[in-house]
């Protein structure tokens, strides 16, 4: 799939997608394919990629604490900091247990994909067919 197609379908800027896919490529989650019909492909099977790997690859932490790894107010941790750290760990473990394939096969996700594909077809720019 091309980044332009993703950009159009998801309403995400192309430059931001280029940054994200560069990070995904560095983590060997996707690979670029050059030439006609090129774009990006998964670098490994969808069942071998976890949602947590994708989130980590694009530098998004699964962190429910108010201050991240450092203190809550940059010096000390708050009273509930350890609870939030435990929650962050559980969220990561939960997402690490979901493969990209599992996620994409969920009925609710399939509904969203079908809706977005239909919308993308309705709003697609006409292609130039040349003189016939």
pLDDT in tens, the chain (132 residues): 888 888 888 889 999 999 999 999 999 999 999 888 788 999 999 999 999 999 999 977 767 666 655 556 666 778 888 888 899 899 999 999 999 999 999 999 999 989 988 887 777 655 544 443
Contact status, residue 82 vs residue 69, Cβ threshold 8 Å: no
Contact status, residue 29 vs residue 35, Cβ threshold 8 Å: no
Contact status, residue 109 vs residue 60, Cβ threshold 8 Å: no
Reported pTM: 0.77
> Quick one: 74 exposed, middle or buried, by C-beta within 10 A (0-12, 13-18, 19+)?
exposed
Of 39, 34, 37, nearest in space to 14 by CA:
39
């Amino acid at each position: 799939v091309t980044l332009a197609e993703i950009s159009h379908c998801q309403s995400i800027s192309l430059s931001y997608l280029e940054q994200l896919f560069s990070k995904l490529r560095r983590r060997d989650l996707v690979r670029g394919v050059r030439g006609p019909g090129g774009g990006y492909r998964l670098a490994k099977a969808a069942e071998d990629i976890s949602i947590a790997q994708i989130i980590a690859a694009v530098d998004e932490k699964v962190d429910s604490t108010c201050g991240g790894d450092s203190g809550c107010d940059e010096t000390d941790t708050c009273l509930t900091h350890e609870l939030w750290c435990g929650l962050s760990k559980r969220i990561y473990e939960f997402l690490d247990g979901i493969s990209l394939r599992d996620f994409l096969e969920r009925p609710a996700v399939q509904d969203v994909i079908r809706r977005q594909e239909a919308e993308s077809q309705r709003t697609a720019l006409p292609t130039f067919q040349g003189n016939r």
